[in-house]
A and B are shown apart, each in its own frame.
Chain A
Amino acid sequence: MTVPDGYFADFEKRMEAMLPPNEAAEIVRKIEAPKTLWGKIRPFVYMAAMFAGVWCMVKMFAMLGTGGGIDLSIDNNEVLSNALSDETFIYEYLRDDVSGREVLEEMYLDSISVDDMIPADSLDESLDWMTEE
């Protein structure tokens, strides 16, 4: 029995070309491969983005919990303070929004007499606005 000339000499080269890469060696090669700049800073960028996200969430929940950091009390509201300190505002507000008839009906149900509250001579003038309807 014989083989073609140079068979064993060429066999190793032919086999080498046929062998697929070894998985374990490939993994080691990838681990040992030098990292690019982006590869080096990527974990830190991701970490910074994560902390920024957490900070934004905390800030948002804090704003929702305290009314957005805005003081909504009446004392610090310039418009409301001015309105409440102005006597004519309440008078005009009531006159605009409360029916005079409703007030009289409420007083009647509570057994309050208008005559007891207002002197007779000023009654007609005072109640003009309530009976305008």
Chain B
Amino acid sequence: MAKELPREDTDLIERLRQPATCREAFNDVMRRYSEPLYWQIRRMVESHDDANDILQNTFLKAWQSVDGFRGDAKLSTWLYKIALNESITFLAKERKRLSISIDDEESHLVNLIESDEYVDGDDLALKLRKAVASLPEKQRLVFNMKYYDEMKYEQMSEILGTSVGALKASYHIAVKKIEQYFAETD
């Protein structure tokens, strides 16, 4: 059974389907979703420049496939899926380019965090970023979506294609690891 979409999504999808209003509607989509998508991507890749490139690719891909978007899912779900796929592909390419294993990615991300020029000077936030960066990729994704974006498990399940139970377990483990990180570094 198809889920009922939010009213603003229905209007926007309708305008996206009409060739005459498609472009203008897509501008509205960018205006509404560029910021939440940016932060989701940025928490995954840590660097602003990389996040900017991935966000641009995300919207380009969304624009190219807008004709095929059937409106079965929420716009945000569709865009998050594209953004996360782009982020994971980027991280895999980076690992290959820098010849680092998935286990060594943590130190690479911590280095990026330490060299990031766009920081707000909050030590606790910086420590949390490092703790999250130490998590495996899937747990990092789940933690970011739940903790920062306050996303419901059902939507996360749609985006990641994982059961709600598995997501709850991943989040629980991620929180435990972060607590452990804080305990060890204090």
Residues of A within 8 A of B (CB): 1-4, 7-8, 11-12, 14-16, 18-20, 22-25, 27-29
Contacts and interface: CB of A to CB of B under 8 A. Distances in A.
Given A2-B119, A4-B118, A25-B20, A12 B30 contact: yes
B19 A8 contact: no
Summarize B's interface: helix, strand, loop or mixed.
Answer: helix
A29 B20 CA distance: 8
B14 to A, nearest CB: 15
Interface of B: 19-20, 22-23, 26-27, 30-31, 34-35, 38-39, 42-43, 48, 52, 55-56, 59-60, 63-64, 66-67, 116, 118-120, 125, 129
B116 A22 contact: no
A20 B35 CA distance: 22
Given A2-B118, A27-B19, 5 more contacts: A12-B27, A14-B56, A23-B67, A24-B67, A25-B22
Contacts of B129: 1
B67 A19 contact: no
Contact of A22 (B19, B31, B48, B56): B19
Given A18-B56, A18-B60, A12 B19 contact: no
Contacts of B119: 1-2
A46 B116 CA distance: 68
A22 B23 contact: yes
B19 A24 contact: yes
Contact of A2 (B20, B27, B120): B120
B34 A16 contact: no
A16 B30 CA distance: 9
A23 B19 CA distance: 9
A3 B38 contact: yes
Nearest to B125: A1
B19 A25 contact: yes
A8 B39 CA distance: 11
Given A18-B56, A27-B19, A3 B34 contact: no
Nearest to B59: A15
Contacts of B20: 25, 28
A1 B30 contact: no
Contact of A24 (B22, B26, B56): B22
